Amino acid sequence: MARAEHDMTTPPLDIDALRAEFPVLARTVHDKPLVYLDSAATAQRPQCVIDATTRFYSEYNANVHRGVHQLSVEASEAFEAAREKVRAGLNAKSEREIVFTRGATEAINLVAQAWARPRLEPGDEIIVSTMEHHSNIVPWQLVCEQTGAVLKPAPINERGELLLDELEALITERTRLIGLVHVSNALGTINPVERVCAMARERGIVTVIDGCQALPHVHVDVQTLGCDFYAFSAHKMYGPTGIGALYGREPLLEAMPPWQGGGEMILRVSFEETTYNELPHKFEAGTPNIAGAIGMGAAFDFLDRIGIDPIAAHEQDLLTYATDRMQAIDGLRILGTAANKGPVISFIVDGAHANDIGTIVDHFGVALRTGHHCAMPVMQFFGVPATARVSFGCYTTRGEIDTFLDALERARTMLA
């Protein structure tokens, strides 16, 4: 199986020093050392992210913007500094293009309700891929119900790869939006996002990219990708939960109405009229997750310090090692064998339910994910109710993969 490309001259990670930055990795589970192979669901947090959020609460906790006292000034500066870190991390043109949200789900819903709903008419079309997370399916279904638009799924092949020609064949003069995951959480497939965005742009079609699984593993440059919107959650990339961001091209955001009303998103309110705030605050109603945003900024700093290239090289080595060993196991089938993959392996074992596998290996200290991974159409395509999934982060080691495989063999023996 081919892997995601990376620079072979990249120096290796100092994995021991890196792991020491993650306090939770020192703990035990069921009297066994923790082996955390569930980073696609949520990554662990380095101490620098924990310290950034703690420092906010312990040293300058205050609401942001408009306050003139010192704590509010410090909080506002740190909050907006985090926005600049996100902008730089995505290579957006302006901080006005970065909207803080609760995560990718809220970001996609924002686009659905503030861009799509006011514009779509009966018979208009939205295309999404069959491998999407539910958060890039359900918001569009809701909009279709609200507007009379039609949702069209683009197919994948047995390797879990997007069929680009068939996606293009689905496009008509009524196609208004294409939603696509950058890296599949269920299969690990890295999609040809730049090609899809170019295809859409030539036809005046708006693109919405779910980048949750991409940011911790590959370079993301929204200007190079050419997307209109890019959504992500910080907790997938070593940041806090409950915070994320939406990148949107400024002309599109400028033309969109706010989708939530309240404080912060206004300039002036009377009973006769409300004047909305400037970008990006127009979309940030209410007191934001200040600590979360600051922690997200620290996560971007962390990734910048470690470097995506060494992380990618390390994770692709792990993916190759684990895939080769798992393919040699009788009765085990990997779902998702795309030529270009991120560090995710979903699998089934003959005669064993995924949940049983997950329960048994947990008693050996191994944390993996079981279920449909919020990607039920993927499970339906492969004809399975659920899979077990291992996913790697920058802190994962070959030794942990060995421990997982030993635990898996014990589970297979017990379930035989």
Judged against a pLDDT cut of 70, whether residue 194 lies above it is answered with: yes
Smallest CA-to-CA distance from 115 within 279, 232, 228, 261 is with: 228
Span 56-63, average pLDDT: 98
Assess whether pLDDT exceeds 70 at residue 168.
yes
199-253, pLDDT tens digit by residue?
999 999 999 999 999 999 999 999 999 999 999 999 999 999 999 999 999 999 9
Tell me what pLDDT residue 414 has. Answer: 92
Is 92 contained in some domain? yes
Q: Containing domain of residue 26, as a range? A: 15-42+307-415
Average pLDDT of span 251-269: 88
pLDDT of 5 reads 45
Query: What is the pLDDT at residue 271?
Result: 85
Work out the angle at residue 189's Cα, subtended by the Cα atoms of residues 188 and 195, and round it to the nearest 5 degrees. Answer: 150
Same structural domain for residues 294 and 282? yes
**How many other CB atoms are found less than 10 A from the CB of residue 36?**
23
Q: Is residue 287 domain-shared with residue 350, that is, in the same domain? A: no
Together in a domain, 145 and 132: yes
End-to-end CA distance of the chain: 29
Does any domain span residue 214?
yes
- Whole-model pTM? 0.95
DSSP, residue by residue, 130-197: TT--GGGTHHHHHHHHHH--EEEEEPB-TTS-B-HHHHHHH--TTEEEEEEESB-TTT-BB--HHHHH
CATH number at residue 207: 3.40.640.10
In what helix (H) or strand (E) does residue 376 lie, and over which residues does it extend? helix 376-382
- Residues noted as catalytic: 374
Whether the predicted pLDDT of 124 surpasses 60: yes
* Percent of the chain predicted with pLDDT > 90: 92
Q: Which residues pair with 164 in a beta bridge?
A: none
> For 314-352, what is each residue's pLDDT tens digit?
999 999 999 999 999 999 999 999 999 999 999 999 999
In a shared domain, residues 324 and 396: yes
Q: How far is CA 183 from the centre of its chain?
A: 8
Do 241 and 320 belong together in one domain?
Answer: no
The secondary element (H helix, E strand) that includes residue 231 is strand 229-233
Mean pLDDT of the chain: 95
3-state SS track over 102-117? CCHHHHHHHHHHHHHH
Question: What pLDDT does residue 66 have?
Answer: 84
What's 313's domain CATH number?
3.90.1150.10
Indicate if 330 and 286 belong to the same structural domain.
no
State which of 278, 304, 330 marks the end of a domain.
304
Residue 7 lies in a domain: no
